[in-house]
Amino acid sequence: MKHSTTLTGIALALCLGLAASAVTASQASQDALKARAKVTEADARATALATVPGATVQSAELEIERRKLVWSFDLTVPKSADVVEVQVDARTGRIVSRKTETPADQAKEAAADKVMKH
């Protein structure tokens, strides 16, 4: 029994260590992307919000999309279950794409993200 508890403790420590290094790697990746961006998140956010009157930012991230560095914003609008995804070029500040995602679209994307992370 004591041996099993020790192994469980070791396994838990290894899992926590891997999770911590994944977070560190993810932060390093974000820092590297931010170093390449010429447009700040605040400026890109203002541009995205200007395209969808009355919207609020649900989430924001800096990412590579179709070989472009973009600020990607998921915007919500009052009285709508849809999310408007607006991508702003992180080098020029121009809108790269704008698309409306229904709840069904959002569920598909969440499921695909979950598969990619495993």
Are residue 1 and residue 20 in the same domain, yes or no? yes
Q: Summarize the confidence of residues 86-108 as an average pLDDT.
A: 95
Kindly report, residue by residue over 62-82, the tens digit of the pLDDT: 999 999 999 999 999 999 999
Distance separating alpha carbons of residues 24 and 40, to the nearest angstrom? 22
At residue 40, φ and ψ (nearest 5 deg) are -75, 160
Are residue 19 and residue 55 in the same domain, yes or no? no
pLDDT value at 29 more than 90:
no
Distance separating alpha carbons of residues 14 and 113, to the nearest angstrom? 24
pLDDT band at residue 23 using 50, 70 and 90 as cut-offs: very low
Are residue 30 and residue 76 in the same domain, yes or no? no
Are residue 32 and residue 43 in the same domain, yes or no? no
Buried b (16+ CB within 10 A) or exposed e, 57-75: eeebebeeeeeebbbbbbb
Are residue 32 and residue 45 in the same domain, yes or no? no
Which has the higher per-residue pLDDT, 22 or 58? 58
Are residue 22 and residue 46 in the same domain, yes or no? no
Are residue 71 and residue 113 in the same domain, yes or no? yes
Tell me what percent of the residues of the chain surpass a pLDDT of 70. 76
Confidence at residue 117, expressed as pLDDT on a 0 to 100 scale: 73
Buried b (16+ CB within 10 A) or exposed e, 10-47: eeeeeeeeeeeeeeeeeeeeeeebeeebebebeebbeb
The Cα-based distances of 110 to 15, 18, 35, 77 in angstroms read 24, 23, 28, 20
Amino acid in position 4? S
What SS3 class is residue 80? coil
